[in-house]
Structure formats: C-alpha cells, structure tokens
Structure 1
C-alpha cells in the first residue's frame, strides 16, 4: 500500500512540475537517478551509511526506467539500456547490503552519460513550445 501511495505522489509531482511529455518523464527520472547514485557513491567513498531515501529513489527510478523500455521498437538499444539499468540496480543493492566492490560511482557516470544523451535528443522528439 505504501509503495502505491509513493508512486501516486511521484506521479502527482510530475504533473505539478509541468512534466507531461513522455520524454520529460524519462528525463526527470534519469536526472533523479543520477543524483541519487552520486549521493550514494559519495556516502560509500566516505565510509558513511547510505541514505535510505536515496537507495529507495534509485531503485524506484531504475524500476520506472526498466519497465518503460520497449524491446520491440527499441531493439538492441533497449536491451543495452536494460543491462545498464540492471548494472546500476545490482550495485545499489550490493552497497545497501554492505558488500565490498559496489561500483556506484561507475553506475552514476554511466547513467549521467545516458542523461546527457537523452537531453540532447529532447529537441528532436518534443514539439516546440508555442
């Protein structure tokens, strides 16, 4: 029940922020994921406890991104993105469990690259604002 409530609030905040184009939803999700992964990587590097809210945000963002992939239309790119998101998810969970070798900084950089590319193609897929 709490997960559903959180998803509803998240969807409500997208609407309030003027996010109404599918490209923008993915953009905001990638942006939040990059931010959470960076916070988690910094905490891990400083040997601090991982902020639970950023663990939850990262996992939720990854779920949204993975479930939004269209493997029929996206082909190899969708498969590659799924693997990248799965890499990030694996390392978030590894760090959360306190296991050695979590590669959160690498995941943050990779997702940051996807965010930058997504931002660059925005002008091509979104209609101009009148």
Structure 2
C-alpha cells in the first residue's frame, strides 16, 4: 500500500514537472491558480473532517502559492493592476490564515470563491 502511494506521488511529481517545463508564463499562472484552488478546497474539507494535519498542510500550500503569485507581480509595468492583485492576494492570505486558525470552513469557502474570481479573470486574458 505504501509503495503504491509513493509511486503515485512520484508520477504526480513527474507529471507536474513536465507540464511546468512545457508551459508558457501565462499557463504557469493558470497552473498556480489551479493548485491554489485545490489547496483551499482540500483545506476546507480537512477542517470539516477535523483532519488538522491535512488542514495545516493544505493551508501552508495555499499560502506558499499566494506568495508566489504576489512575488511574480511586476509593479513597474503592471501599475494599478499589479497593485490591485497584490491587495487581493493579501486579502486571500489573511482570510486563509484566519480561517485556518479558527477552523472556519465557511470563511475558507468565501476566500476560495474570491480566488475563483481571480482565476476566471486570468483565464479570460489571451497571451
């Protein structure tokens, strides 16, 4: 059983590495949004199930992705759009931290919906 789980994790890592290597910058941001949404949803499920280890892991993952998204912003070229996205990422980060601290899956669901809005808007942009 453990070998099968390790093999699945290794295949997933290889798949992610391959998709990342072949992706253009726009697609990389899409992939980050996909991972962010997955981590937030999984954290909410973990909260509802009382799985504190999984909750912590998924919230840490979401916060790491938010940091990555924010650090990718170009404030010189992006101007007010970059500033707005920075504020949105800051809001999502704070809501995620608070929801995790309080074990509040509804608050986390609201943050997830806000992230869905950002993700959907990004997908409307054509590189």
The equivalent residue for 2:68 is: 64
Q: Match of 1:69, SS?
A: coil
8 Å Cα contact 1:91-1:102 kept in structure 2: no
Q: Unpaired segments of 5 or more residues in structure 1?
A: 1-10, 126-130
The one of 87, 91, 110 aligned to 2:91: 87
How does the TM-score come out when normalised to structure 2?
Answer: 0.73
Cα RMSD (Å): 2.6
How does the TM-score come out when normalised to structure 1?
Answer: 0.72
The equivalent residue for 1:3 is: none
Cα drift, residue 12 of structure 1 = 7.6
Deviates more, 1:13-22 or 1:106-115: 13-22
Identify the structure with the greater helix proportion.
2
User: Is 1:41 equivalent to 2:55 in the alignment?
Assistant: no
8 Å Cα contact 1:33-1:62 kept in structure 2: yes
Distance 1:70 1:42, change over 3 A: same
8 Å Cα contact 2:32-2:65 kept in structure 1: yes
Cα drift, residue 100 of structure 1 = 6.2
User: Is 1:24 equivalent to 2:23 in the alignment?
Assistant: no
8 Å Cα contact 2:33-2:119 kept in structure 1: yes
Distance 1:15 1:72, change over 3 A: same
Distance 1:63 1:80, change over 3 A: same
Distance 1:100 1:66, change over 3 A: same
